[in-house]
Amino acid sequence: MKRRDFLKSTTALGGAALFGTLAPARLMAQETPVKGGTLIWGHSETTQNLDRHKTGTASTSRVLQNVHAGLITVDKDFNLIPDLAESFEQSEDGLTYTFKLRPGAKFHNGKDVTSADVKYSFERCADPATGATNKPVFNDMTGIETPDDLTVIVKMGKVNAPFLARIAEHGAGVIMPEGSGDQQGTHPIGAGPFKFVRREFGNEVELERFDDYWGGPAYLDKVIAKEITEPTVRLTGLQTGELHMINDIPADRIASVEGDSKYQVLTWFPLNWDFVNLNHEFEPFKDPKVRQAFDLMIDKQALLEGALWGQGKVTASPSFPSSPTYNHDLKQRPQDLAKAQQLLTEAGYPPGKLEVVFKVTTNYPYHVESAQIMLEWFQAAGVKTKIEQLTWADWLSQCWVNKDFQITMMNFFTLWEPDFLYYSLWNSTGAFNYRHINDKVIDDLTEKARVTVDPMARADIYKQVQQRVFDETHDILLWFRNGSIGAQQSVGGLDGIVHPNGSNLNFHKVWLKA
């Protein structure tokens, strides 16, 4: 196999983001960016553990995207391009990766980025004691050689087709200073365009320009992310001028903000996808009939209109919409309350016998609204339902870490790389499998995909995974949600702020008028 063919195989399954544009009537005129100023951003979520190797939350990675850098990254079409590594290649057999580091690239502590830091970072992720969410990325790694300060050679025991694409995302690919792991959770040190200054938990995070960033210093002096999960409060902050920009404009207010010449509006599709989670350790949900019954209770389009005001598109596949892995043959089950009642009765739960607790986080207010709508359908099907609203920290503790829930709802922010998506979420050992799903068919398929180099063959495997998830109703897929940013006219550079993955924000080229 030629190296260029192997390189292609690791990225061909990504697909390009389906981005929208800035509202044309409110595009800032082309001006020369100016340096200086502090941008106040109304962040729609709260950050958690700041250790990028350990955190699994998009709320945190959205901020840390500006603090860290990896060996490689992706362009808008998900082609792999250099970052801290100025070049990279694989051997003909696909078992050896060689990275040449960029001379003079520095960490925020003033030290040069060297091969020792890469070795430390990758081995830290691979060490089970670390608790890295992306440990499986390095399962096939057999060793790392550092013949000089600027050369890294990664050895694999077997072909790992998605390896390069996986380290192009910061979760697995972030490079940290050697020995810095103990402090990353509270004071992250990276090699990105902004330095971490401070965090007031649940309130705000402050970042400061790093003048020695290899890609050139940012325009802004600082970015302060104010964590405001309540949509109307966030919008009010924009309208009063307290905030320069916000992400996640309230879905029911986007049209009015777009119609106001005081603001710039950026929209794109998709931001994330949402699904309903059933805990497979909860006795009723061990039965696929019960799981399918809950699927049949939900009118997905009506839920989209009611909770998101139509700001998205229903889907039966979680694959990136433009990816060749997207299974277009899958169609969501239409709502059928009578059939749902029949399945529940067959499973031993006639009307009134089954009781469930639906845990949702207030970090996503539209999840609370969704649960309230679904509660009506569940009760109409004879299921007694109670809703528990949790803070983001409590949801992560109870549902994500301790797997202490019966039914819940969560979103994931695109996960454009299919191994990251399907292995992490549905393999029995996947880092994001908080639903106790244990399906040998899926385990075998996701392992097979990792050693399948041909991109179309891999795509077919992932389509089979989706079919299995659907057939067994392991989860209930709902929709892709639109992304949005509202900003004052004084903010420049918004056309490049959204990362290709549709979730993270890059402030490197954002600026404020003098």
Q: CA–CA separation, 65 vs 59, rounded Å?
A: 11
Question: How many residues appear in the chain?
Answer: 514
Q: Is residue 476 part of a domain?
A: yes
**Tally of structural domains, the chain:** 1
Residue 142's CB is within 10 A of a number of other CB atoms, namely: 10
Q: Is residue 457 part of a domain?
A: yes
Residue whose C-alpha is closest to residue 152's, from 109, 112, 86, 101: 101
* Contact between residue 409 and residue 277 where contact means Cβ atoms under 8 Å apart: yes
Residue whose C-alpha is closest to residue 12's, from 426, 460, 442: 460
Domain that holds residue 328: 271-481
Q: CA–CA separation, 422 vs 85, rounded Å?
A: 28
Q: pLDDT digit of tens for each residue in the chain (514 aa)?
A: 444 454 455 555 665 556 565 554 344 456 899 999 999 999 999 999 999 999 989 899 999 999 999 999 999 999 999 999 999 999 999 999 999 999 999 999 999 999 999 999 999 999 999 999 999 999 999 999 999 999 999 999 999 999 999 999 888 999 999 999 999 999 999 999 999 999 999 999 999 999 999 999 999 999 999 999 999 999 999 999 999 999 999 999 999 999 999 999 999 999 999 999 999 999 999 999 999 999 999 999 999 999 999 999 999 999 999 999 999 999 999 999 999 999 999 999 999 999 999 999 999 999 999 999 999 999 999 999 999 999 999 999 999 999 999 999 999 987 889 999 999 999 999 999 999 999 999 999 999 999 999 999 999 999 999 999 999 999 999 999 999 999 999 999 999 999 999 999 999 999 999 7
- Pairing mode, strands 38-43 and 222-227: parallel
Q: Is residue 364 part of a domain?
A: yes
Q: CA–CA separation, 51 vs 176, rounded Å?
A: 10
Q: Is residue 432 part of a domain?
A: yes
Q: Is residue 406 part of a domain?
A: yes
Residue whose C-alpha is closest to residue 246's, from 255, 254, 235: 235
Q: CA–CA separation, 471 vs 250, rounded Å?
A: 34
Residue whose C-alpha is closest to residue 297's, from 408, 361, 375, 367: 375
CATH of the domain at 371: 3.10.105.10
Q: Is residue 59 part of a domain?
A: no
Q: Is residue 428 part of a domain?
A: yes
Q: Is residue 13 part of a domain?
A: no
